[in-house]
């Protein structure tokens, strides 16, 4: 007999003795004597009896379950064990009681085993048939068309470019508004910088990636913008995407223009702040949202959230200019901070090209966070932020795009610095020429009655939309029947055809490309035209003539 079986028998004997003791109603003296005789097992038995009585009185069902558990334990301990290398098994002619019990047990378990085996087989079949979801869906017909018609430039970018097929074209899709890309002195200096500093810094700014020329560029930006301090970012998109979540956190408040560019929208998403949108450039709607938001904030218990207004100076998606003077009044009235992305305005707007703050006569020091670009107007890379010294210091430690990105290559740093200095000295010549070209261009395309021109008269970014009758006329010609309505993809298809026709005749222009699934609002399809000081009057008139020709070809 095994040790576990001996203990079980002893415990049962103790329980039996305890029961017989209580049934004979022995005296306390005898109880002590019996208790001493029973020893440890007797004391344990008495405890078990008392536990069973109280348990049965309080919860009989639990007593029943515990009894079943005890019986199962007793059966499990007393059953025969399988031994390794057990080959000598003698079976009697009569089936033993244990064999009958085993057969009975298997007969009970068979249905479950059969079901479980089928269940596992179904799982295996599903696993063998499973295919992972694709990382991205297949390109739509429109998306493939856009990719197929994307031009490839063979050589340097600029106003006049050579395409990969050998043809040349006048470029209206380049942000070189002031013609800095063709500056020969910058090219010569860039060669010397490449020899002295090499190609890249190979390290973030905070980890041996900061060069003396980086600090010189920051000083030049601070001086040009007339700000307290500035910080340099090596990547343009990382500038706004880093700055917004650097200051606006979860449960903070952001009031944003619904037509803010895609980079601003991504920065807002990363901040995880509460966002309230107002109608594009509608100051009455902005004030309405500010009042509504302040009412919500007044009911907040605990620490008050930080509140921001985020807008562009010159909107990339529309070409409109923000009424910054009105925004500043509302900002001060309702106690908000302002994040202004002036990337397209710096270098194009204002009396000296310092952006919308220069245009409206507002000190950059009154803007909490003023952002600019170096990869657009100034022909280099990256961006910058002007703010107080405290806010700039915070970004050097907490701005993800600053801390974790490699520093700007020296050659681009010097290029940006030289172009800023050139703007400071040559703005009396460059800015009037740019505004003259913008005026000539808008006058030329205004004679085309089949389009709608969007954007401020001073903006070098011009969006050209096809009018509704024109779209229907073009679709009628292509489909052979009149259409009552049309989709954005159909309109974009027409714009791709127009851009392709113009490219074949020497004008490079592109339709505005948006990620509609990620944009806050769906933007109306358009041709996005960028006017430069390098464009001649013949270039501007040629654009208008070819545009009108392409539209007539598709509609008549």
Backbone angles phi, psi at 60, to 5 degrees: -60, -35
Backbone angles phi, psi at 315, to 5 degrees: -75, 125
Q: What is the pLDDT of residues 205-262, one digit of tens each?
A: 878 889 999 999 999 999 999 999 999 999 988 899 999 999 999 999 999 999 999 9
Averaged over 418-443, what is the pLDDT? 96
Instruction: Tell me: do 156 and 297 sit in the same domain.
Output: no
Residue 199 pLDDT greater than 90, yes or no: no
> How many folded domains does the chain comprise?
2
| 189 domain residue, yes or no | no
The separation between CA 359 and the C-alpha centre of its own chain, rounded to angstroms, equals 33
Q: In the Cβ-directed half-sphere of 64, how many Cα atoms lie within 13 Å?
A: 3
**3-state class of 354 per DSSP?**
strand
| 447 domain residue, yes or no | yes
| 450 domain residue, yes or no | yes
Residue 116 pLDDT greater than 80, yes or no: no
Q: What is the DSSP letter of 314?
A: B
Longest pairwise C-alpha distance within the chain: 127
Residue 162 pLDDT greater than 90, yes or no: yes
Instruction: Tell me: do 164 and 249 sit in the same domain.
Output: no
Alpha carbons 362 and 331: distance in angstroms, whole number: 13
Answer whether 509's CB lies under 8 Å from 158's CB. no
* pLDDT for 37: 47
Q: What is the pLDDT of residues 327-367, one digit of tens each?
A: 999 999 999 999 999 999 999 999 999 999 999 999 999 99
Alpha carbons 174 and 182: distance in angstroms, whole number: 12
| 55 domain residue, yes or no | no
Answer whether 275's CB lies under 8 Å from 254's CB. yes
In Å, how far are 14, 30, 47, 503 from 50, measured between CA atoms? 13, 19, 5, 99
More confident of the two residues 308 and 203: 308
What is the full DSSP assignment across 101-150?
Answer: HHHHHHHHHHHHHHHHHHHHHHHHHHHHH--PPPSSPPPPHHHHHHHHT-
* pLDDT for 3: 44
Alpha carbons 158 and 180: distance in angstroms, whole number: 9
* pLDDT for 127: 81
Alpha carbons 275 and 308: distance in angstroms, whole number: 10
| Residue 169: domain span | 141-180+427-555
Q: H helices within 410-459, ranges in order? A: 410-445
Alpha carbons 30 and 93: distance in angstroms, whole number: 53
Alpha carbons 3 and 9: distance in angstroms, whole number: 10
Give the pLDDT band (50/70/90) at residue 29: very low
Residue 507, judged by CB atoms within 10 A of its CB (0-12, 13-18, 19+), counts as buried
Beta bridge partners of 346: 354
Strand 160-162 relative to strand 168-171, pairing: antiparallel
* pLDDT for 145: 87
* pLDDT for 26: 45
Residue with tokens 């008495």: 46
Alpha carbons 353 and 312: distance in angstroms, whole number: 16
* CATH number, domain containing residue 304: 3.40.640.10
Alpha carbons 434 and 116: distance in angstroms, whole number: 79
Give the pLDDT band (50/70/90) at residue 470: very high
Averaged over 150-172, what is the pLDDT? 93
Task: Give the H or E element holding residue 56.
Answer: helix 28-58
* CATH number, domain containing residue 151: 3.90.1150.10
Q: What is the DSSP letter of 372?
A: E
Give the pLDDT band (50/70/90) at residue 295: very high
Contact partners, residue 556, CB within 8 Å, separation at least 6:
473, 477
Give the pLDDT band (50/70/90) at residue 515: confident
| 105 domain residue, yes or no | no
| 500 domain residue, yes or no | yes
| 378 domain residue, yes or no | yes
Most confident of 24-28, 91-95, 533-537: 533-537
Residue 66 pLDDT greater than 80, yes or no: no
Alpha carbons 417 and 217: distance in angstroms, whole number: 5
* pLDDT for 69: 84
Instruction: Tell me: do 378 and 483 sit in the same domain.
Output: no
Answer whether 413's CB lies under 8 Å from 209's CB. no
**E-strand spans in 483-550?**
507-508, 510-511, 527-530
CA neighbor of 157 nearest in space, from 480, 375, 452, 397? 375
| 501 domain residue, yes or no | yes
Residue 531 pLDDT greater than 60, yes or no: yes
What is the full DSSP assignment across 3-46?
Answer: HHHHHHHHHHHHHHHHHHHHHHT--HHHHHHHHHHHHHHHHHHH
Instruction: Tell me: do 347 and 259 sit in the same domain.
Output: yes
* pLDDT for 115: 55
Alpha carbons 451 and 471: distance in angstroms, whole number: 10
Residue 6 pLDDT greater than 50, yes or no: no
Contact partners, residue 11, CB within 8 Å, separation at least 6:
41, 44, 45, 48
Instruction: Tell me: do 160 and 214 sit in the same domain.
Output: no
Instruction: Tell me: do 353 and 306 sit in the same domain.
Output: yes
Question: Cβ–Cβ contacts within 10 Å for residue 296, how many?
Answer: 12
Give the pLDDT band (50/70/90) at residue 44: low
Which two structure tokens, joined as six digits, stand for 419? 């172009």
Alpha carbons 13 and 281: distance in angstroms, whole number: 93
Averaged over 485-493, what is the pLDDT? 92
Alpha carbons 289 and 156: distance in angstroms, whole number: 46
Instruction: Tell me: do 371 and 239 sit in the same domain.
Output: yes
* pLDDT for 258: 96
Averaged over 2-13, what is the pLDDT? 48
* pLDDT for 16: 53
**3-state class of 459 per DSSP?**
coil
Instruction: Tell me: do 349 and 488 sit in the same domain.
Output: no
Give the pLDDT band (50/70/90) at residue 28: very low
Q: Looking at 380, 408, 436, which one is the last position of a domain?
A: 408
> Using only C-alpha atoms, what is the Rg of the chain?
40
* pLDDT for 21: 52
Instruction: Tell me: do 164 and 221 sit in the same domain.
Output: no
The separation between CA 151 and the C-alpha centre of its own chain, rounded to angstroms, equals 28
Instruction: Tell me: do 164 and 243 sit in the same domain.
Output: no
Q: Looking at 358, 380, 408, which one is the last position of a domain?
A: 408
Residue 545 pLDDT greater than 50, yes or no: yes
Instruction: Tell me: do 442 and 369 sit in the same domain.
Output: no
Lowest-confidence region among 55-64, 77-86, 254-263, 516-525: 77-86
Instruction: Tell me: do 435 and 402 sit in the same domain.
Output: no
Lowest-confidence region among 28-32, 237-241, 468-472, 535-539: 28-32
CA dihedral 324, 330, 336, 341 (to 10 degrees): -10
Alpha carbons 142 and 150: distance in angstroms, whole number: 13
Q: H helices within 162-255, ranges in order? A: 184-197, 212-225, 236-247
* pLDDT for 122: 76
* pLDDT for 403: 92
* pLDDT for 301: 84
* pLDDT for 480: 87
Q: What is the pLDDT of residues 71-99, one digit of tens each?
A: 888 877 776 655 555 555 454 544 455 55
Residue 31 pLDDT greater than 50, yes or no: no
């Amino acid at each position: 007999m095994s040790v576990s079986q001996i203990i079980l028998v002893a415990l049962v004997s103790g329980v039996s003795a305890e029961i017989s003791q209580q049934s004979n109603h022995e005296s306390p003296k005898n109880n002590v004597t019996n208790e001493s005789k029973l020893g440890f097992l007797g004391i344990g038995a008495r405890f078990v009896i008392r536990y069973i009585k109280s348990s049965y009185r309080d919860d009989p069902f639990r007593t029943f379950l515990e009894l079943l558990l005890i019986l199962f334990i007793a059966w499990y301990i007393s059953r025969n064990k399988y031994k390794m290398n057990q080959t000598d098994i003698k079976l009697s002619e009569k089936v033993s009681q244990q064999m009958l019990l085993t057969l009975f047990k298997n007969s009970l378990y068979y249905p479950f085993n059969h079901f479980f085996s089928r269940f596992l087989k179904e799982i295996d079949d599903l696993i063998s048939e499973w295919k992972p979801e694709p990382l991205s869906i297949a390109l739509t017909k429109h998306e493939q068309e856009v990719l197929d018609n994307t031009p490839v430039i063979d050589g340097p970018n600029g106003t006049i470019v050579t395409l990969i097929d050998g043809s040349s074209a006048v470029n209206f899709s380049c942000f070189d508004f002031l013609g800095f890309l063709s500056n020969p002195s910058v090219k010569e200096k860039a060669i010397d910088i490449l020899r002295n500093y090499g190609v890249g810094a190979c390290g973030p700014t905070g980890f041996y990636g900061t060069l003396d020329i980086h600090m010189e560029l920051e000083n030049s930006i601070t001086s040009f913008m007339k700000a307290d301090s500035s910080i340099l970012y090596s990547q343009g998109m990382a500038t706004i995407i880093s700055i917004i979540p650097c200051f606006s956190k979860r449960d903070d408040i952001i009031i944003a223009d619904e037509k803010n560019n895609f980079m601003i929208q991504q920065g807002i998403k990363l901040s995880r702040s509460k966002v309230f949108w107002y109608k594009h450039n509608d100051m009455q709607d902005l004030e309405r949202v500010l009042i509504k938001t302040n009412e919500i904030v007044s009911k907040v218990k605990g620490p008050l959230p930080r509140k921001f207004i985020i807008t562009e100076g010159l909107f990339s998606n529309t070409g409109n200019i923000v009424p910054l003077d009105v925004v500043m009044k509302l900002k001060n009235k309702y106690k908000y901070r302002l994040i202004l992305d002036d990337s397209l305005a710096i270098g194009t707007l204002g009396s000296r090209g310092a952006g919308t703050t220069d245009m409206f006569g507002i000190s950059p020091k009154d803007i909490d966070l003023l952002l600019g670009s170096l990869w657009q107007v100034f022909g280099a890379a990256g961006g910058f932020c002007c703010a107080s010294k405290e806010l700039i210091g915070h970004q050097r430690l907490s701005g993800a795009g600053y801390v974790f990105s490699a520093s700007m290559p020296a050659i681009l740093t010097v290029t940006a610095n030289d172009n800023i200095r050139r703007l400071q000295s040559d703005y009396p010549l460059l800015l009037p020429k740019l505004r003259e070209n913008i005026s000539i261009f808008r006058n030329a395309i205004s004679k085309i009655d089949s389009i709608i021109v969007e954007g401020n008269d001073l903006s070098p970014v011009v969006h050209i939309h096809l009018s509704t009758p024109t779209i229907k006329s073009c679709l009628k010609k292509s489909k052979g029947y009149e259409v009552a309505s049309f989709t954005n993809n159909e309109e974009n298809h027409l714009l791709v055809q127009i851009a392709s026709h113009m490219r074949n005749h020497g004008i490079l222009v592109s339709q505005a490309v948006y990620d509609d699934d990620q944009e806050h609002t769906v933007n109306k399809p358009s041709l996005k035209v960028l006017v430069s000081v390098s464009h001649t009057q013949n270039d501007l008139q040629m654009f208008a003539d070819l545009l009108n020709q392409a539209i007539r070809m598709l509609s008549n």
